[in-house]
Amino acid sequence: MDVSWTLWALTILGLCALIAVDFLIGRKPHDVSIKEAGIWTIVWIVLAVLFGIGLLVFGNSQASGEFFAGFITEKSLSVDNLFVFILIMAKFSVPSHLQQRVLLVGVLIALVLRAIFIAAGAAIIGTFSWVFYIFGAFLIYTAWKLIQEARAGEEEEEIEDNRLLKSVQNRFGVADRYHGTKLFIEKNGKRILTPLMVVMIAIGTTDVLFALDSIPAIFGLTQDPYIVFTANAFALMGLRQLYFLIGGLLKKLVHLSYGLSVILGFIGVKLVLHALHENGVHVPEISISFSLAVICGVLVITTITSLIASKKQSEREAAEGKDDQDKVEGKDSEGKADIEA
């Protein structure tokens, strides 16, 4: 898709305007209700759909299909990121009324850094076609790693290994409590960080680590930098509201990592096939329509199986709890009988 500098400028200005509106509405720290999160989640999804339709009308079906495939993939990967965001919030005991500010600034940091990643990735791909082999192999490896982590339950490792966060804490020092929305305070004549700033850095840098998976994934669906950037932008900018909307539901998506591993593995294979095709090897290429169908199908199946598994687990725990209660009541009855005797 041929995108002029004017269209790039208008797109970035439009996204900045949307971010400004979102920031102004959420500028006052408050507890985000389910209703507010739900409304804004719908707004961001509708805007993404309208943008995709705009690509269809003013561009072509290929560009529109690539955008939707990329957006759905990035959004599903972002949902998996929310698990780690929840862990970060819990680790730093972030007050509920400050969480939306943390997520907003953290997402902005991630968006800027991802734009740099995308520009670099597009330049590398444009110069070295063999990079598709590396991206494909990396995604297949990531898919395998996701399955291993899902079995081992090692999500918290990514927080503990954040060296940038540790170096910032050691270099500047951190206040012992939150000071509203302040990011820095003066203590004993020295400027130090507040816990709020530390959490924002943690959210932003952790999401960049996730970009190492998602950027190659979306380049496996499209090599158009404009579509890669806009799909990432729309997926990220609705992440804050999604956090508050489905925070409780995340625990029920027990098979999400398995679904994402299938998607990443599929895109990895698609990249390798594309690289072989570019090198003159006669291999079948996977169309964007088929890719979109696979991505949506895997997510639907994963969600259904997750909810079924969660329901069975809840029923099992309820039954075990009832058995334990019956045993306690039985012992109490025996004790009373002995006393009476």
What does the pLDDT read at residue 153?
57
What does the pLDDT read at residue 72?
92
**31-43, pLDDT tens digit by residue?**
777 788 788 888 8
Tokens, residue 154? 């090692």
What does the pLDDT read at residue 65?
93
Given the structure tokens 């199908």, which residue do they identify?
297
- Sign of the CA dihedral running 70, 102, 84, 138: positive
What does the pLDDT read at residue 201?
79
* Ramachandran class of 31: left when φ > 0, alpha when ψ lies in -120 to 50, beta otherwise: beta
CA 167/CA 329 separation, integer angstroms: 54
What does the pLDDT read at residue 264?
85
**45-101, pLDDT tens digit by residue?**
999 999 999 999 998 899 999 999 999 988 888 776 777 777 778 777 888 788 877
What does the pLDDT read at residue 92?
78
Q: What is the pTM of this model?
A: 0.73
Following DSSP, what letter does each residue of 239-294 receive, concatenated? HHHHHHHHTTGGGG-TTHHHHHHHHHHHHHHHHHHHHHHHTT---PPPPHHHHHHH
What does the pLDDT read at residue 151?
73
What does the pLDDT read at residue 155?
45
What does the pLDDT read at residue 154?
46
Q: Find the helix or strand (DSSP H, E) in which 193 lies.
A: strand 190-193
**101-133, pLDDT tens digit by residue?**
788 777 777 778 788 888 888 888 777 777 888
CA 147/CA 260 separation, integer angstroms: 9
What does the pLDDT read at residue 326?
62
Q: Which residues of the chain have pLDDT under 50?
A: 154-161
Return the number of other C-beta atoms located less than 10 Å from residue 299's C-beta. 20
